[in-house]
Amino acid sequence: MKTAKKILKRIGQGLGVILLLVGGFCAYVAVTPPRTYDPPVAPNIHVESTEARIQRGEVIAHLQCISCHADNNNRLTGKRLDELPAIFGKVYSRNITKDKEKGIGNWTDGQLIYFLRTGIRPNGTTAFMPQYNLMADEDMKSVVAWLRSDRFPVQASKTEAPPAEYSFVAKMLAWTILQPGDFPNQSIPMPDSTKPVAVGRYVATAVADCYGCHSADYLDLDKVHPERTKGYFAGGSKFTDEAGKTIFSANLTFDEQTGIGKKYTKEQFIRAVKTGVRPDGTIFRYPMVPRLSLSDREIAAIYDYLKTIPRLNNNIAQKQAEVQLAEK
């Protein structure tokens, strides 16, 4: 009896210590700015600018950078990301025009690539932004060539968005799931352009990030091996549409009942992804915006790839109906 009490007391003390430690850590996270690291040694890369690279970079910028960085005048001076759930705080993207003071005009090509791959800035601070760790070296260079070009959105501008005010939750995420990635220690080649499935896999994961939204949870991705992500392409990740209603991403596997196998022919899929309109005339809701800059070939390749991945049964329509009832 006595020993049992002693043991319980011991456990109690142990728990107390753990709680104190956890509490102390939380307080630390709450009062410090987002996580920082030692300033990284950026690779020594010089990107040669060619018109082909600038054009390819523009395609990728339309898929990725512009939606988050463009102000009302379509210049990449940064803006409030108000579609992010309020629990993250007030998140603002930054000025990434060629301006040397307010933008990234003073970053080296290597520093830019290091940041885009890992999320760590030249000074060691981290950014609440996607990491492009799977993108091929050549595509990465195209992005940099575009950022350095004289295209309108990146022309030097001194306009600046206010600094972000991250919530405790956002900072906590930076210490846990949203940690910076490793800089790849091998070169990443472009997929073999004669193999549609390989091209589709590449576009759907490394460039257009379809899997990031179309798996079970966009905060719980396997960024190194996308295929190992929970509910890979079976949809169900939660978003807020423009009316503030909860919506779920769609199941894009070829599951016969709940996926797209029977819903879309390849031609219908291409048209829907490009225009944002389903074969039955209904319109995709935000954040599923039309992907105008993807070529028909690339979207067809995504379709071919989706056909090859495991078919998962996940009834999104039913989930959506349940939430709608609850939100009424």
Measured from the CB atom, the residue of 68 and 221 that comes closer to ligand HEC is: 68
The terminus-to-terminus CA distance of the chain in angstroms comes to 55
Q: How far is the CB of 112 from ligand HEC (least distance, A)?
A: 6
List the interface residues with ligand HEC, window 13-52 (CB under 6 A).
none
What is the total count of residues that contact ligand HEC (CB under 6 A)?
43
Q: How far apart are CA 299 and CA 64, in angstroms?
A: 16
Q: Which of 36, 181, 40, 207 is nearest to 110 (CA)?
A: 40
Q: What is the distance between the alpha carbons of residues 43 and 142, in angstroms, rounded to a whole number?
A: 16
**CA distances to 198, 199, 328 from 231, in Å:** 20, 21, 28
Asked if 65 is part of the footprint of ligand HEC (rule: CB under 6 A), the reply reads yes
**CB crowding 29-68: b at 16 or more within 10 Å, else e:** beeeebbeeeebebeebebebeeebbebbbbbbebbbeeb
DSSP 102: T
Q: Does 199 bind ligand HEC (CB under 6 A)?
A: no
Note whether 161 binds ligand HEC by CB under 6 A.
no
Are the C-beta atoms of 66 and 164 separated by less than 8 Å?
no
Q: Rank residues 266 and 285 by Cβ distance to ligand HEC and give the closer one.
A: 285
Please check whether residue 132 is in contact with residue 223, taking contact to mean a CB–CB distance below 8 angstroms. Answer: no
**Contacting ligand HEC (CB under 6 A), which of 37, 168, 175, 284?**
284
Contact residue for ligand HEC among 64, 131, 142, 258 (CB under 6 A): 64
Per the CB < 8 A criterion, the answer to whether 114 and 108 are in contact is: no
Minimum distance between the CB of residue 95 and ligand HEC, rounded to whole angstroms? Answer: 6
Q: Considering the rule CB under 6 A, would residue 175 count as an interface residue with ligand HEC?
A: no
Query: Would you say 17 or 138 has its CB closer to ligand HEC?
Result: 138
Would you give the DSSP letter of residue 80? B
Identify the residue among 54, 59, 68, 206 touching ligand HEC (CB under 6 A).
68
3-state secondary structure of 153: helix
**Near ligand HEC by CB under 6 A, which window of 7-15, 38-46, 192-200, 280-288?**
280-288
Asked if 110 and 161 count as a contact pair (C-beta separation under 8 A), the reply is no
Crossing angle for the helix pair 296-308 and 266-275, to the nearest 10 degrees: 120
Q: Is position 209 an interface residue for ligand HEC (rule: CB under 6 A)?
A: yes
Least distance to ligand HEC, CB of residue 263, Å:
6
Please list the residues that pair with 92 across neighbouring strands.
80
Based on the shown chain and the rule CB under 6 A, indicate whether residue 270 belongs to the binding site for ligand HEC: no
Which is nearer to ligand HEC, 98 or 121 (by Cβ)?
121
Please give the full DSSP string across 67-78, using - where no structure is assigned.
HHH--TTS-SS-
Q: Please report, as residue ranges, which positions from 218 to 247 form the binding site for ligand HEC (by CB under 6 A).
A: 239, 247
What is the nearest approach in angstroms of ligand HEC to the Cβ of residue 48?
18
Residue of 29, 42, 206, 272 that binds ligand HEC (CB under 6 A): 272
- Choose, by CB under 6 A, the member of 29, 35, 47, 115 that binds ligand HEC: 115
Structure tokens of 318? Answer: 């039913």
Does 312 interact with ligand HEC (rule: CB under 6 A)?
A: no
Residue number, 128 or 232, with CB nearest to ligand HEC: 128
Sequence-distant (≥ 6) Cβ neighbours of residue 188 within 8 angstroms: 134, 135, 136, 137
**Residues within the interface to ligand HEC (CB under 6 A):** 61, 64-65, 68-69, 81, 91, 93-94, 96, 104, 115-116, 121, 127-130, 143, 147, 164, 204, 208-210, 213-214, 239, 247, 249-250, 252, 260, 263, 272-273, 278, 284-285, 287-288, 291, 302
